[in-house]
Amino acid sequence: MSIITIERKVLQKNDEVARRNRALFFSHGTFAINLVSSPGSGKTSILERTLQQLKGELKVAVIEGDIQTDLDARRIASLGAPVVQIVTNGSCHLEAKLVEDALSNLDLAQVQLLIIENVGNLVCPANYDLGEAVKVVVASTTEGDDKPLKYPAMFRNATVLMINKIDLLPYVDCNLEQLKKNALSINPGLTIFETSCVTKEGLEGWCAWLRSKMIFVGRS
Ligand X SMILES: Nc1nc2c(ncn2[C@@H]2O[C@H](COP(=O)(O)OP(=O)(O)O)[C@@H](O)[C@H]2O)c(=O)[nH]1
Work out which of 40, 82, 144, 152 binds ligand X, going by CB under 6 A. Answer: 40
Kindly tell me which of 147 and 165 has the beta carbon lying closer to ligand X: 165
Q: Measured between alpha carbons, how far is 190 from 80 in angstroms, rounded to an integer? A: 31
Integer Cα distance of 70 and 200 in angstroms: 25
* Total residue count of the chain as it appears in this document: 220
Rounded to whole angstroms, the Cα distance separating 104 from 170 reads 45
Q: Which of residues 103-142 bind ligand X (CB under 6 A)?
A: 120
Element (H, E) at 42: none
Q: Which residues contact 28 (CB under 8 A, 6 or more apart)?
A: 108, 109, 111
Q: Which does 196 bind (CB under 5 to 8 A by kind): Mg ion, ligand X, none?
A: ligand X
Query: Out of 14, 37, 50, 112, which residue is the one contacting ligand X (CB under 6 A)?
Result: 37
From residue 20 to residue 49, the character string flagging contacts with Mg ion as x (rule: CB under 5 A) and all else as - is -----------------------xx-----
Residues near Mg ion (CB under 5 A) = 43-44, 72
Residues near ligand X (CB under 6 A) = 37, 39-45, 120, 164-165, 167-168, 196-198
